[in-house]
């Protein structure tokens, strides 16, 4: 999976360099989603009374999505839009993977059980 990620990102580096404006415009949205989605998962877990481990799973699942699934669709668009959309999708994937590294430590803290 990591190899696939590196190959896909590597194939889109020229597009990222050529199309920086749309990528830069999308980054704040992706970062806001990365911060807010685990919290939304925690709130959802509280509303539906999900247990500790389930709450962790809901928070993590809410925050992660596989944006590379739509990359073939983006690449099937006519040029030059396909390169711009692909660059934005790859940027989303990079932010998502970096966020997941933070989630590994943050979500257990976010979802910890209260002392009884």
36 within domain boundaries: yes
pLDDT (tens digit, 9 = 90+) per residue, 30-43? 999 999 999 999 99
Count how many domains the chain has.
1
Residue 12 falls inside a structural domain: no
Its domain, for residue 80, covers 22-110
Summarize pLDDT for 47-94 with one digit per residue, the tens.
Answer: 999 988 999 999 999 888 777 788 888 888 898 888 888 888 888 988
Q: Which residue has the tokens 């749309």?
A: 22
């Amino acid at each position: 999976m990591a190899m696939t990620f590196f190959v896909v990102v590597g194939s889109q580096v020229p597009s990222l360099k050529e199309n920086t404006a749309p990528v830069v415009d999308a980054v704040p949205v992706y970062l806001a989603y990365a911060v807010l989605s685990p919290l939304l998962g925690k709130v959802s877990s509280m509303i539906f009374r999900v247990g500790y481990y389930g709450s962790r799973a809901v928070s993590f699942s809410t925050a992660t999505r596989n944006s590379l699934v739509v990359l073939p669709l983006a690449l099937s668009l006519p040029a030059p839009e396909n390169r711009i959309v692909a660059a934005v999708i790859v940027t989303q994937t990079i932010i998502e993977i970096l966020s997941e590294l933070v989630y590994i430590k943050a979500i257990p803290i976010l979802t910890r059980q209260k002392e009884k």
